[in-house]
Amino acid sequence: MATETDTRILQSLISNRVAFATSVPCKQLAGVIELVEDSGDILHVPCNKEDEGMGLCAGAYMGGMRPCIIMQNTALGVVINSLATLIQFYHFPLPMLISYRGEVGEKVACQVEMALHTKAILSQLHIPTYHFRHRSDAKDLDDILGHCFMSNKPVAILADAMFWGSAS
């Protein structure tokens, strides 16, 4: 069931002319994925793994569509090479809407392990990173997406459990 926050995220994607999205599911992202799938403005192509998704996004961008990938932070361990040698090397813009699992409010202990490395990995890759903790942080998404497509760089939006309202 999509929330008001999910709707706001979709509106930001559309207003920034994002026309292609790929995703690997996460329960926190379920509402956004549902909206993206149903949106007539965005072509949603679910992928099996996030590096595959980055290939799809690269192709879509070359075909003239602004892309976006929706994924979990745990997938950062999967996509480092794709980020460096495809997205960064060829200067493709790629907003990564990432559910930040393992932060305060997490219920699955194992997720914490990757959360400990998430920002360090992104920092090491010199990827602009924005941490959404509160619902009101979604207001920054428009500018972040604009920045991403202006700079032709991957950009990470880490949205944690508190942001999704599931910290309880």
Helices (H) and strands (E) in the chain, counts: 7, 6
CA distance 152 to 62: 12
CB-CB neighbours of 99 under 10 Å: 28
Q: Is residue 60 a contact residue for other proteins (CB under 8 A)? A: yes
In the bound state with other proteins, the residue whose beta carbon lies nearer, of 10 and 87, is 87
Of positions 14, 46, 117, 147, contacts other proteins by CB under 8 A: 46
Stretch that binds other proteins, among 1-9, 46-54, 94-102, 117-125 (CB under 8 A): 46-54
Q: Is residue 153 a contact residue for other proteins (CB under 8 A)? A: no
User: What Rg, from alpha-carbon coordinates, does the chain have?
Assistant: 14
Of positions 27, 38, 77, 85, contacts other proteins by CB under 8 A: 85
Q: Give φ, ψ of 127 to 5 degrees.
A: -100, 120
Q: Is residue 66 a contact residue for other proteins (CB under 8 A)? A: yes
Name residues whose C-beta falls within 8 Å of residue 51's C-beta, 6 or more positions apart in sequence. Answer: 78, 79, 81, 82
Of positions 9, 18, 57, 159, contacts other proteins by CB under 8 A: 57
Stretch that binds other proteins, among 69-77, 83-91, 106-114, 117-125 (CB under 8 A): 83-91
Structural tokens at position 11: 């509106």
Site for other proteins in 132-151 (CB under 8 A): 149
Write the single-letter amino acid at 10: L
Q: Is residue 80 a contact residue for other proteins (CB under 8 A)? A: no
* Beta-bridge partner residues of 159: 99, 132
Q: Is residue 107 a contact residue for other proteins (CB under 8 A)? A: no
Structural tokens at position 65: 């569509």
Binding site for other proteins (CB under 8 A): 17, 19-20, 43, 45-49, 51-67, 81-82, 84-86, 89-91, 149, 152
